[in-house]
Amino acid sequence: MALFSIQNEFHYDITRKIFEGGMGIVYEAEQHGTRNFVKRVAIKIIRPNYASQKMFIENFIGEAKLVADLIHTNIVQTYHLGEANGAAFIAMELIRGVNLEQFTQQLTEKKRTLPKELAVFITSRVARGLAYAHAKTDKDGKPLGIVHRDVSFKNVMIAFEGDVKLTDFGIAKARGFLTDQEGEVVAGKPDYMSPEQADFQVTDKRSDIFSAGVVLANLLLGRNIFKGENAEESRHRIMHQPIPDFHSLDARIDGKLNDILHHCLARDLKHRYDNADQLMFDLEYYIYHDGYGPTNETLGKFIRELFGQESLKLPHVDTGGRTIRIQEGTRRSHFNK
């Protein structure tokens, strides 16, 4: 029983569109509270063409409920699940930065190479977030069995301060939270998914480790070796393409780092890392065992120099000059535009 409850009325002013994904749209917004309180947040809403489909709505709400209790420095924090005019929305931590796809595009445009140590550092932070999520339990201590299933360049954010954040648990698998059709449909981005995902098999936390290995290889090489001309070719490469000697592709990749990559990308689950903690340990030992290694500040300095003055503002798409207000109360909810 609650000691007491607090009921209040608040609203969000949406000021600009930040990102459009496959099923959702993310906006920047200002949350307004009492006595001129203002907090900048991100608002995620489901795309209109999915808003009438029951399974997508249930999974959107399930994602919010799942991530609400995932409180970790390497996972984007969820603040609030709300509804206005019958449409659900999620209020989340606003990351002042870019995702890895935008980050590597800027590297290409500026003809820069990502230092090996920073590639390992970024992946180690992804592994930290995964280790936390995989180990999460419910209030009774029962494992939730979370599998992200979409660890990819678009779903890893780097803040301009250097923080690395895993985001978008929209197709995650977790007991009791999301409707799952695993074995019947394939979920995830074809060139980042694990072989078991690509083959319509049931996945566990080791699937995310394979995807983290693809992220690491992509950061080191500047390309995804599994990306094909279409989704079918990418899935075929994930399942059948020989895993290369990465040292032959980039001389910076020494024997130990090559072993880590092969340990992540092993198709036989018996030879893949059992859990993200093991991957995190090997990555961190690799960059820190000789002494000082990269930090959030190191990465932040690199990304701010890479983006220059662009780092002072978030990449965005304007909302056409409109401010959209989402207002909730104890008895009513509506959109004001």
Annotated catalytic residues are 150
Q: Could you give the CA distance from residue 99 to residue 255 in angstroms, rounded to a whole number?
A: 29
Q: What are phi and psi of 324, to 5 degrees?
A: -100, 130
Q: Could you give the CA distance from residue 25 to residue 44 in angstroms, rounded to a whole number?
A: 6
Residue 229 in tokens: 């001309």
CA distances 199 to 29, 58, 182, 193, 269, Å, are 40, 26, 11, 10, 14
Among 144, 148, 127, residue whose Cα is nearest residue 135:
144
Three-state secondary structure along 41-89?
Answer: EEEEEECHHHCCCHHHHHHHHHHHHHHCCCCCCCECCEEEEEEECCEEE
Among 237, 142, 160, residue whose Cα is nearest residue 192:
237
Question: Alpha helices of the chain — where are they, by DSSP H?
Answer: 54-67, 100-109, 116-134, 195-198, 205-221, 231-240, 246-249, 255-264, 276-288, 296-307
CA angle in degrees (0–180, nearest 5) for 293-296-301: 95
- Based on C-alpha coordinates, what's the Rg of the chain? 21
